[in-house]
Amino acid sequence: MNEDLNPIWTLLWTFGLMSLFAVGGANAAIPEMHRIAVEVRHWMTDKEFADVFAISQLSPGPNVLIVTLIGYSVAGIAGALAATLAMCGPTALLAYNVSRLLTRARHSRWPAIIQAALVPLSIGLMAASGLILARTSDQSWIAVLTTVITAIVAFATRLNPFWLLLAGGVLGFAGVI
Amino acid sequence: MSSDSPPAAPAPDLPASHPRIQPGLGELFVAFAKMSLAGFGGVLVWARRGIVEQHRWMTADEFNETFALCHFLPGPNIVNLSFVFGSRFRGLAGGIAAFAGLVGPPMLIAIVLAALYKHYGEIEALRRTLAGVSCAAVGLLLSVMLKMTMPLVKRRDLAGLAMLVAVFVAIGLLRLPLAEVLLVAVPASLAVTLLIRQRVRA
């Protein structure tokens, strides 16, 4: 296929298009990224996808970094830049234009209504992300337990998530998981 | 946490009309780079702290309004926020400076980590370590999801919870394409939300 000849273009339009449907941010788009990267385009295996997610969480910064890393594994640095710009550019420009329009109509009730309607959808998408990633990450009952305990601690405390990731890494290194 | 919590309540200690400080392009870049590099698992908390409390570039209300806007638009929320925020002070160049600060430095770190993974990914100890990190990372994602769900549960928002489950089944279990699911789910959810609000008002 023509698009296989130039992976940069494939990355650009894949993520450019995906960003417009990324309701609820990058974490909510993980099922779609997984579907395209693993099932449709065979850019990476299930396991590599889970690793890429782990690396993106290990780096500080916005969740969108997972897109950077998918781009990197497909086409190196150029792929990383292309995927990131495609995922961020169109919606940033959209937000810029909408915010200029809305400064006049600041007290319109529409933003609140749209947001109320979209929040349940983004949570459902994140739950799907969790399921898809857990299927590959949580292969043993200790792994499942690690995920559950991390979720509970992160939910109930204000502990910096970095320490939880580190704890998971230490358990893995020690061969417990 | 680009999307983990609804906009927080305005901080009471900030006067509504404090003198606005106008950041320059370099300042925007550095400020967003700092927030971003401090944020593991998400940047929203740090963005709020930096913009509202530390630099006082926005009041808490203005920040909430801007975040709400970026939350209901598609795309990475915090990226949208950086662009909208920067452009509000310095036009398009300001948007690009804030965006570059937010994404650039962490991107370098992530790429270095990915390059290391490419070279050493087959080493058994590293595989095990990364597997452990993965388990914890999934847990973090679930905690963010739980935090976002709590307000729906507290409000007994049954329609919202039903929508949530429907999207989870369609995407997570049936593995349907995102675009097609959203083309049905977004209008449906909007209609239900409008209907309920009108009934509450009547």
Interface of A with B in 68-127 (CB under 8 A): 68-69, 72-73, 77, 80, 84, 87-88, 90-96, 98-99, 102, 106, 111-127
Digitized pLDDT (tens) for each residue of chain A, 177 residues in all: 444 568 999 999 999 999 998 988 888 899 999 999 999 999 999 999 999 999 998 899 999 999 999 999 999 999 999 999 999 999 999 999 988 887 666 567 777 788 788 889 989 999 999 999 998 888 899 999 999 999 999 999 988 888 999 999 999 999 888
CB contact under 8 A, B99 and A92: yes
* Chain mean position to CA B19: 28
Q: Are A74 and A80 in contact (CB under 8 A)?
A: no
Q: Please return the burial class of B49, using the count of CB atoms within 10 Å of its CB with bins 0-12, 13-18 and 19+.
A: middle
Determine what percent of chain B falls in helix, strand and coil, rounding each to the nearest 5. 75, 0, 25
Tell me the residue ranges of DSSP E strands in A52-177.
Answer: none
Which chain B residues touch A28 with a CB distance below 8 Å? 3
pTM of the model as a whole: 0.84
Please tell me the distance from the alpha carbon of residue A56 to that of residue A69, in angstroms, as a whole number: 7
CB contact under 8 A, A62 and B42: yes
Nearest CA in chain B to A90: B75
Quote the pLDDT of residue A116. 83
- Selecting from B87, B133, B149 the residue whose C-beta is nearest the C-beta of A123 gives B149
CB contact under 8 A, B128 and A96: no
Which chain A residues touch B190 with a CB distance below 8 Å? 113-114, 117
Backbone angles phi, psi at B100, to 5 degrees: -65, -40
Q: Tokens for B8?
A: 């927080």
CB contact under 8 A, B135 and A114: no
Q: Residue A146: what residue type?
A: T
CB contact under 8 A, B140 and A59: no
| N- to C-terminal Cα separation, chain B | 37
- Selecting from B43, B72, B73 the residue whose C-beta is nearest the C-beta of A61 gives B43
Residues of chain B with pLDDT under 50: 1-19
Long-range interactions of B86-94: CB distance < 8 A, separation 24+: B86/B28, B86/B32, B87/A96, B87/A99, B88/A99, B89/B22, B89/B23, B89/B28, B89/B57, B90/B23, B90/B24, B90/B25, B90/B28, B92/A96, B93/B25, B94/B25, B94/B28
CB contact under 8 A, A102 and B106: no
B96 Cβ contact partners less than 8 Å away, ≥ 6 residues apart:
B83, B86
Q: Collapse the DSSP code of A107 into the 3-class scheme (helix H, G, I; strand E, B; otherwise coil) and give the result.
A: coil
Nearest CA-CA partner of B83 in B75, B92, B72 = B92
User: Would you tell me how many other CB atoms lie within 10 Å of the CB of residue B147?
Assistant: 16
Quote the pLDDT of residue A159. 87
Please tell me the distance from the alpha carbon of residue B189 to that of residue B170, in angstroms, as a whole number: 15
Please tell me the distance from the alpha carbon of residue B103 to that of residue A15, in angstroms, as a whole number: 16
Q: Please return the burial class of B127, using the count of CB atoms within 10 Å of its CB with bins 0-12, 13-18 and 19+.
A: middle
Q: At what angle do helices B158-168 and B124-154 cross, to 10 degrees?
A: 150
CB contact under 8 A, B178 and A21: yes
Please tell me the distance from the alpha carbon of residue B30 to that of residue A50, in angstroms, as a whole number: 31
Which chain B residues touch A37 with a CB distance below 8 Å? none
Please tell me the distance from the alpha carbon of residue B60 to that of residue B56, in angstroms, as a whole number: 9
Please tell me the distance from the alpha carbon of residue A91 to that of residue B84, in angstroms, as a whole number: 11
Please tell me the distance from the alpha carbon of residue B146 to that of residue A151, in angstroms, as a whole number: 9
